[in-house]
Structure 1
Amino acid sequence: MDASVALILAQDGITNGAIYALLSLALVLVFAVTRVIFIPQGEFVAYGALSMAAIHAGLLPPTMWLVVTLGIAVALVECVAALREGAAARLPLIVARNAMLPAVAAIAVHFLPLKSLAYPLQAAIALLFVVPLGPQIYRLAFQPVAEASVLLLLIVSVAVHFVLLGLGLYFFGAEGGRTPAFTDGGFDLGPTYIQFQTLWIVGIAALLIAGLALFFERSIYGKALRATAINRTGARLMGISADLAGKLSFTLAALVGAFSGILVAPITTIYYDTGFLVGLKGFVGAIIGGLVSYPLAAAGAILVGLIESYSSFYASAYKEVIVFTLIIPVLLWRSLTTHHVDEEH
C-alpha cells in the first residue's frame, strides 16, 4: 500500500466514521435518558435516505402515511389518558397536535412540485415525515413501559426494529435508492484526491455535533436532558417530566438518523434493511464510549470507520467480522474494571 492508497482509504474511513459518530451520539443520548438500547436507530437512516430518494424522483415519501397513521394512534391514546385524568378540555388540542397537524402537512405536500424543488427543501420535507416517528414510537411503544427493566426495554426495542424493518420493505420495496451528490467533483491535495461530497458529509456532521453540544449546554431543554441522564429520580423531583425527556431524546435520535441517511444516500445505494448494519456500527462506537461518554463514542465511531476502510483493503471478506470484534476487548475490559450496581440503586 502506497501513501496515495492509504490516504484514499483514510478519506473513506473518516467519511463513514462521521456518519457512525452521529449515530453513536444518538444511541448514547437515548440510553442515558431512557435506558433504552435503541436498536431501530438504523431504520431512521434508511427511512431518511429512501424518503429523500422518493422526493427527488417526484414521488410522495411513503413515510408520510406512517406519520399520519401513528399520529392518529397517539391521539387516541392521549385522549383516553386525558379522559381518565378528567381533563376533557385537553381533547381538542391533543387531536389537533397529534392527528390533524400531520394530516394537514401531508395534504400540503401532496400539491407541491416535489421534483423541481431545491435540494434543501426536498431534504426538509424528508425530515418532516421521518423525524416525528421518533416521539410517536416512544409514546406508543416505550412510554407505557418506561419504568421497566433494561432487559424488557431491549426486547421492546428489538420488536420495534422488526416492525419498522417490515414496514420499510412494504413502503419502499426491495429496490434500493440513491440521490445525486450535493456537489460533483473535487480537488487534488498532495498525493490524494478529495471529493467535495466527502467535505459536505464531514462538515455537516461536524456542524450537527457542534449544534447538539450547544443545545445541551445552552438551552433549557438540553439541560433538562442532561439532568435526566445524570439522575432520573432527581430530575423528576425537580419538576422535569421523564415523558417529555423521553420524547425529546427520541426526536433528536430520529433527526440525527434521518439526517445521516440524507448525507449517506449520495455515496452508496440504500436499501430498506441497510440501516440496521449502519446502526450496528454506530452501536460499536457507542459501546466504546460505554454508552455514557459522548466524546469517546464519537472517537470510537471514527475508529470504526477507519478500521472498516482499511479492513476492506486487506481482508474485504472479513471486514464486518473485524469491525464487530472490536466489541469483545472493550466489553472484557469494562467487565473487569466496572463494579456491578443493581438497577434499583
Structure 2
Amino acid sequence: MDLQIALLLAQDGIVNGAVYALMALALVLVFSVTRVIFIPQGEFVAFGALTMATLQAGRAPGTLWLLLALAALTLLVEAVRHQRGIAVDWKSTAVWAVVLPALAALTTLVLAPASLMGQAFATLLVITPLGPLLYRMAYRPLAHATVLTLLIVSVALHGVLVGLGLLFFGAEGSRTPAFSELRLDLGGIPVSGQSLVVMGVASVLVTLMFLFFERSIVGKALRATAMNRVGARLMGIPTELSGDLSFALAALIGGVSGLLIAPLTTVYYDTGFLIGLKGFVAAIIGGLASYPLALAGALLVGLLESFSSFWASAFKEVIVFTLIIPVLWWRSLNSRHVEDEE
C-alpha cells in the first residue's frame, strides 16, 4: 500500500464514517430519551433513498401510502383513548397525523416536483412523520416496559418494515443523481462533489443538533427527559411529546442519510440494515449516551471498514462488527452493577 492508496481509503472511510455518525447520533438520541434501541433506524435510510428514486421515476412511492395508513390508524387509536377518558394531546396529534401527511400527499401527488431539491424535500416530508407515528403505534403503549421488551419490539418492527420495503420497491436496487457533479484533484487524489456534499451535510447536521440541544428550550427539555424521565415529567415536560420529537428527528436524519448515499451506491430494500448496524457499533462505543464518543466511533468504524476492504475484503464486515467485543469488555470492567449502586 502506497500513500495514494492510503489517502483514497481514508477518503472513503471518512465519507462512510459521516453517514455512520448520523446513524449513531439518531440511535443515541432515541435511546437516551425513550430507552428504545431502535433497530429499524436503517430502514429510514433505505426508505429515503428509494422514495427519492421512485419520485424521479414519476411514480407515487409506497412510503406515502404507509404514511397515510399510519396517520389514519393513529387518529383512530387516539379517538379510542379519548373515548375511554385518557387525556390526548390533539395539537401534536394533528401535526403528526394530519398536517404533515397532508403536506406530503400534496407535495408528492399534486405538485410533483421535477427538480432534484424539490424531490429531496418531498422525500423528507414523507419520511419524517413516519418516526413519531411508528413511536405512537409501537412504542408509546409500552413506555414503561423493560429495555429487553422494547428491543424485541424493535426487532419485530424491523422485520415488518423490511417486508414492506420489498413490497413497495421490489428486489431491484436504485441509484439517484448526485447533488453535485464537481470533480476535484487534490494532490493526485480524485474527490467527487457528492463526497463533499456528504461530509458537509453531515457536519452541518451535527452542528445544528449540538446547537439545538444546547441553546433551544425544546432541546433542553429533551436532554432533561434523557437524564431523568420522572423528574422531567414532574417539572411539566411532556415526555410523550419528547418521544414523538426524538423519533421525528431520527426519521429526518435517516431520510437525509438515504438521500446522501443514494448517488454513491445502489440502495436495495434491505440496505439500511447493515448501515444501521454499523451506526449501532459507533453508538455502543459512545455507550449509547455520549454524542462526541459516538461520532468518534463512527469515524473509527468508517476507517476500519475502508482499510479492511483493502487488506481483507471478504472479512470487512466481520472485522467491523468484532470491534464491539473489546468495547463491551472494556465497559464491563469500568462500570458497576446496578445492584451495587442500589
Residue 71 to residue 343, structure 1, CA distance change in 2 (3 Å): farther
Matched, 1:294 2:321: no
Amino acid at match of 2:128: V
Q: Separation in 1 of the partners of 2:87 and 2:135?
A: 22
Residue 343 to residue 251, structure 1, CA distance change in 2 (3 Å): farther
Residue 174 to residue 232, structure 1, CA distance change in 2 (3 Å): same
| Among candidates 303, 307, 311, match of residue 306 of structure 1 | 303
Amino acid at match of 2:51: S
In the TM superposition, what is the alpha-carbon distance from 1:110 to its structure 2 partner?
1.3
Matches within 5 A, 1:320-335: 320-335=317-332
Partner of 1:110: 109
Unaligned runs of 5+ in 1: none
Partner of 2:232: 235
Residue 270 to residue 92, structure 1, CA distance change in 2 (3 Å): closer
Residue 73 to residue 266, structure 1, CA distance change in 2 (3 Å): same
Q: Separation in 2 of the partners of 1:134 and 1:96?
A: 13
Q: Separation in 2 of the partners of 1:319 and 1:290?
A: 23
Amino acid at match of 2:246: S
Matches within 5 A, 1:50-199: 50-85=50-85, 98-99=97-98, 102-103=101-102, 105-114=104-113, 117-199=114-196
Partner of 1:4: 4
SS in 2 for 1:69: helix
In the TM superposition, what is the alpha-carbon distance from 1:213 to its structure 2 partner?
0.7
C-alpha contact (below 8 Å) 1:61/1:129 kept by paired residues: no
**Runs ≥4 in structure 1, deviation > 6 angstroms?**
90-93
Q: Separation in 1 of the partners of 2:41 and 2:227?
A: 22
SS in 1 for 2:316: helix
SS in 2 for 1:48: helix
C-alpha contact (below 8 Å) 1:82/1:91 kept by paired residues: no
Please give the TM-score of this superposition, normalised by the length of structure 2.
0.95
Residue 325 to residue 105, structure 1, CA distance change in 2 (3 Å): closer
Residue 343 to residue 153, structure 1, CA distance change in 2 (3 Å): farther
RMSD across aligned positions (CA)? 2.0
In the TM superposition, what is the alpha-carbon distance from 1:281 to its structure 2 partner?
0.3
C-alpha contact (below 8 Å) 1:308/1:319 kept by paired residues: yes
Partner of 2:28: 28
Partner of 2:214: 217
Matches within 5 A, 1:197-212: 197-212=194-209
**Percent of matched pairs sharing the same residue:** 61
In the TM superposition, what is the alpha-carbon distance from 1:111 to its structure 2 partner?
2.4
C-alpha contact (below 8 Å) 1:79/1:91 kept by paired residues: no
Q: Separation in 2 of the partners of 1:95 and 1:55?
A: 26
Q: Separation in 2 of the partners of 1:7 and 1:163?
A: 40
Q: Separation in 2 of the partners of 1:335 and 1:92?
A: 44
How many residue pairs align between the two structures? Answer: 342
In the TM superposition, what is the alpha-carbon distance from 1:191 to its structure 2 partner?
3.2
Q: Separation in 1 of the partners of 2:205 and 2:55?
A: 23
Amino acid at match of 1:40: P
Q: Separation in 1 of the partners of 2:56 and 2:304?
A: 33
SS in 1 for 2:48: helix
C-alpha contact (below 8 Å) 2:100/2:125 kept by paired residues: no
Q: Separation in 1 of the partners of 2:330 and 2:191?
A: 37
In the TM superposition, what is the alpha-carbon distance from 1:85 to its structure 2 partner?
1.9
C-alpha contact (below 8 Å) 1:22/1:256 kept by paired residues: yes
In the TM superposition, what is the alpha-carbon distance from 1:109 to its structure 2 partner?
2.6
C-alpha contact (below 8 Å) 2:96/2:132 kept by paired residues: no
Q: Separation in 1 of the partners of 2:107 and 2:180?
A: 29
Amino acid at match of 2:194: Q
Please give the TM-score of this superposition, normalised by the length of structure 1.
0.94
Q: Separation in 1 of the partners of 2:72 and 2:142?
A: 20
Partner of 1:284: 281
SS in 1 for 2:266: coil
Q: Separation in 1 of the partners of 2:202 and 2:280?
A: 17
C-alpha contact (below 8 Å) 1:225/1:245 kept by paired residues: yes
Q: Deviation per CA, 1:43-63: give whole Å up to 9, x if none.
A: 000000000111122222221
In the TM superposition, what is the alpha-carbon distance from 1:258 to its structure 2 partner?
0.7
